[in-house]
Structures are given as structure tokens and as C-alpha cells.
């Protein structure tokens, strides 16, 4: 038993204690990267309370805005009988969560709609349309999808809790505005997303709610968290949630303190040796 202890002590003394400052610094960097990799593997176990301010989430926001613009333009083509020159703008800080099953995005759509009357006259409407988008479906339509023979899901609809506003300099008659708004509302519910677009919606909502594991830059965020943890700074902008993640963070912080102490001690020993020589 004593022989085993002596062997372990000799191994630690030879291969770890009494190393040069450069070696301890290399160990320190290696610990950061190893734990960053472990955090990346379990990245869904972390909560980011300020996720919406991260650059990667902002980039995902812009990609989602452009995707929604293209989807709407396919439903409301330029120079159609309904509208032209469609512009989509997501409202800032628009993602919210009511319940886990009811996550959705609030957005506003700026649209120019041209309506032709029976007499050939055209009225132009500048509309600001509040919408809600949900990758899980807002409700089922009362008609069937020809491909699946199932009720078609509504993923985009006009937000009934807010009004469609006309921003014309000279407002049109309210009866005409209501007619156009109803037509736009009906066509909104025909908008379809493919599977990749629905995944993009899910990822964005999850990221804005504090779980950006599925968007770009995950490893770099975990490297940052590893540096913050090993130096015991603890900003709190990334928080471990599970027992495993907390164990890793606590272990890294402890290793960081030990490693830093050995590094400082080696600097002192290095300076003493140089003075003695």
C-alpha cells in the first residue's frame, strides 16, 4: 500500500509538480479548452438570460426576417390583384412565451395593397399589420391539405388582439379598409412554411428564450463560459441548470484555483533559481 502511494506521489512530483511556468500556463489553457468541449456537448443544459443581446441571435433574427419576407412575397406577389411592394419588419424584442406549448413570435408587416373596384378605379392602402407566427401551429384550418389529406395548420395569422392600421395620408373609407383587411387576414392564414423554415422558427424562439444551443457560435460561447468559470469571474450571463453542468463548472473553478496557485509558485521558484545561478 505504501509502495503504491509512493509511486503515485513520485508520478505527480515528476510529471506535474515542480514544472516550469510555461508548462502550467499550457495546462491552464488546456483545461479551458477541455471544459469548453464538455460544455459544448451538454450545451442544452445551460440557460442564457441575456441571449437576445448576443450577436449570433441578432444574426438569426435578420435571417428569420428575410425568410419571412420571402415567404410572404410568395403569397402576396408583386402586382397582384391584392398588393405590391411588400416589406416585412419584425418588431424589436418581439419574442415572448405564454406557455411551453404556445410559444410564438409577434411581428409587424408593412404592406402596400392595391384594390381595384368594379369600375376600374384603384385604391391604395398602406397597412401596418400585426401578426403572430408559431412553428407549432396556431390552429387548424377547416379545410384539408391535398397532399396529407389532413386539416392544414395555420402558422401565421393576423394578431386579433391588435388592430390593422392604415397609415395613408388621406384615409380610405372604413368600410373599404375593413374589406381589404379581411382579405389580407384570410390570405395570411394560407402562408405555408416548409420543414426547414419551421426548424428555423423553433431555433430562433428557443434562442431568444435563453437556449441558443441550436444556432451558430455555440462552441465559442462555451469557451467564453469556460474562461469566466476558471477565473471565477461569474458574470451570470450563462447559467448551468443541471447537476452535470454544475458539477463541471464547480470542478473547473476548483482546478483553476489550484492551477493558478501552482503557476504563481512556479514563477517564484523560477525567479529564485535564476537569482541563485
pLDDT above 70 (res 177):
yes
Could you give the CA distance from residue 221 to residue 43 in angstroms, rounded to a whole number? 10
Cβ-contact 111, 168 below 8 angstroms: no
State the pLDDT confidence band at 99, using cuts at 50, 70 and 90.
Answer: low
pLDDT above 90 (res 240):
yes
Listed residue (128, 124, 116) closest to 158, CA to CA: 128
Helix (H) or strand (E) holding 230: helix 218-230
13-49+214-276 CATH choice from 1.10.3720.10, 1.20.120.530, 1.10.287.70, 1.10.600.10: 1.10.287.70
Beta-sheet pairing, 156-158 with 122-133: antiparallel
Q: What is the pLDDT of residues 214-226, one digit of tens each?
A: 998 999 999 999 9
More confident of the two residues 78 and 37: 37
What is the structure's pLDDT at 147?
58
Name the DSSP letter for residue 18.
Answer: T
Listed residue (9, 8, 7, 13) closest to 262, CA to CA: 13
* Domain extent listing, the chain: 13-49+214-276, 52-209
Q: What is the pLDDT of residues 42-83, one digit of tens each?
A: 999 999 998 888 899 989 988 998 898 888 888 887 666 666
Mean pLDDT of 105-112: 87
Amino acid at each position: 500500500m505504501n509502495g503504491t502511494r509512493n509511486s503515485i506521489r513520485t508520478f505527480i512530483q515528476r510529471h506535474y509538480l515542480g514544472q516550469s511556468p510555461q508548462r502550467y500556463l499550457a495546462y491552464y489553457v488546456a483545461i479551458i479548452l477541455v471544459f469548453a468541449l464538455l460544455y459544448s456537448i451538454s450545451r442544452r443544459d445551460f440557460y442564457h438570460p441575456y441571449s437576445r443581446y448576443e450577436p449570433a441571435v441578432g444574426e438569426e433574427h435578420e435571417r428569420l426576417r428575410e425568410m419571412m419576407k420571402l415567404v410572404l412575397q410568395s403569397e402576396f406577389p408583386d402586382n397582384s390583384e391584392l398588393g405590391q411592394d411588400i416589406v416585412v419588419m419584425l418588431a424589436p424584442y418581439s419574442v415572448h412565451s405564454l406557455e411551453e406549448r404556445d410559444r410564438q413570435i409577434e411581428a409587424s408587416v408593412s404592406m402596400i395593397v392595391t384594390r381595384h373596384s368594379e369600375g376600374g378605379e384603384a385604391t391604395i392602402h398602406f397597412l401596418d399589420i400585426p401578426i403572430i407566427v408559431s412553428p407549432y401551429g396556431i390552429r387548424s384550418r377547416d379545410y384539408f391539405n391535398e397532399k396529407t389529406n389532413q386539416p392544414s395548420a395555420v402558422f401565421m395569422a393576423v394578431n386579433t388582439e391588435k388592430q390593422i392600421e392604415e397609415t395613408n395620408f388621406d384615409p380610405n373609407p372604413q368600410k373599404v379598409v375593413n374589406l381589404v383587411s379581411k382579405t389580407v387576414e384570410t390570405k395570411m392564414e394560407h402562408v405555408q412554411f416548409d420543414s426547414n423554415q419551421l426548424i428555423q422558427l423553433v431555433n430562433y424562439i428557443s434562442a431568444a428564450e435563453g437556449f441558443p444551443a441550436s444556432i451558430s457560435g455555440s462552441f465559442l460561447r462555451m469557451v467564453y463560459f469556460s474562461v469566466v468559470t476558471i477565473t471565477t469571474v461569474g458574470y451570470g450571463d450563462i447559467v448551468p441548470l443541471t447537476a452535470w453542468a454544475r458539477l463541471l463548472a464547480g470542478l473547473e473553478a476548483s482546478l483553476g484555483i489550484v492551477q493558478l496557485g501552482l503557476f504563481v509558485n512556479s514563477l517564484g521558484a523560477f525567479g529564485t533559481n535564476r537569482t541563485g545561478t
